[in-house]
């Protein structure tokens, strides 16, 4: 079974991270980091309450929602987590959505929280890392940080929908973006109709 790290940072677009999580846990072990700001965004945008209680209680809520025991919650402040070490083997890490603060922290090796540290480890170990920056428009600072990371081999995947599959709902558009993210990791899915397919 493959093992991934998924971080949901404090930017609009938590639906993308949640949908990705739902698909990853079907066939993979997922180690989940949720920024403190993201809990209220998840509640507002998705109507899901994972906030409050101990880390163990949060993990139970997340597992109950997903109906899966293959997800493990890690507090973003716990730099003693196994995710902080290169000896914790994964098949890569995804940050969906990725705030500009998180993007900057990763680009500059700041490692101020577990998401930034796990991304730093992922880069140094040469494992796949994908960031889905959720901002618009991008400033020159944002673009320079993305370029710096792209030159290191990080996949930059802004959540840009396409319309050739004739989406009929927000769900279809979210599915397309999540499907493209999964494509970047070679994970099979049927989230959207492919061009010419």
pLDDT for the residue 11: 84
User: Which pLDDT value is given to residue 197?
Assistant: 61
Percent with pLDDT over 70 in the chain? 99
In order of start, what are the domains of the chain with their CATH numbers?
Answer: 2-184 (3.40.50.1950)
What's the whole-number mean pLDDT along residues 115-125?
98
For 70-98, write each residue's pLDDT tens digit.
999 999 999 999 999 999 999 999 999 99
In this prediction the pTM is 0.96
> What's the rounded mean pLDDT across residues 17-46?
97
Give mean pLDDT, residues 46-60: 95
Which pLDDT does position 90 carry in this prediction? 98
DSSP the chain: -EEEEEEE-SSS-HHHHHHHHHHHTTTEEEEEEE-HHHHHHHHHHH-----SS-HHHHHHHHHHHHT-SSEEEEETT-TTSGGGSTTS--S-EEEEEE-HHHHHHHHTT---SHHHHHHHHHHHTT--EEEEE--SSPPHHHHHHHHHHHHTT-EE-------TT---SHHHHHHHHHHHHHHHTT----SSPPTT-
- Whether 43 shows a pLDDT value over 90: the answer reads yes
| Average pLDDT score over residue span 93-107 | 98
pLDDT band at 193 (very low <50, low <70, confident <90, very high): confident
Q: State pLDDT tens for residues 132-170.
A: 999 899 999 999 999 999 999 999 999 999 998 899 999
For the ranges 1-5, 8-12, 125-129, the lowest mean pLDDT is seen at 8-12
pLDDT value, residue 196: 79
Confidence at residue 46, expressed as pLDDT on a 0 to 100 scale: 94
């Amino acid at each position: 079974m493959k093992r991934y790290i998924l971080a949901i940072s404090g930017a609009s677009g938590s639906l993308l991270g949640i949908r990705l999580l739902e698909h990853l846990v079907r066939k993979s072990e997922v180690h989940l980091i949720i920024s403190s700001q993201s809990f209220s965004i998840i509640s507002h945008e998705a109507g899901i309450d994972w906030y409050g209680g101990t880390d163990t209680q949060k993990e139970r809520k997340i597992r109950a929602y997903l109906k899966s025991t293959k997800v493990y919650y890690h507090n973003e402040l716990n730099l003693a987590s196994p995710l902080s070490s290169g000896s914790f083997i994964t098949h890569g890490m995804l940050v969906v959505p990725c705030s500009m603060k998180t993007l900057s922290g990763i680009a500059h090796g700041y490692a101020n929280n577990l998401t930034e540290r796990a991304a730093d480890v992922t880069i140094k170990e040469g494992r796949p890392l994908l960031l889905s920056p959720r901002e618009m428009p991008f400033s020159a600072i944002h673009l320079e940080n993305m370029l710096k990371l792209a030159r290191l081999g990080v996949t930059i995947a802004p959540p840009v929908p396409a319309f050739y599959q004739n989406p009929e709902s927000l769900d279809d558009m979210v599915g397309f973006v999540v499907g493209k993210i999964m494509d970047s990791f070679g994970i099979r899915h049927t989230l959207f109709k492919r061009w010419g397919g």
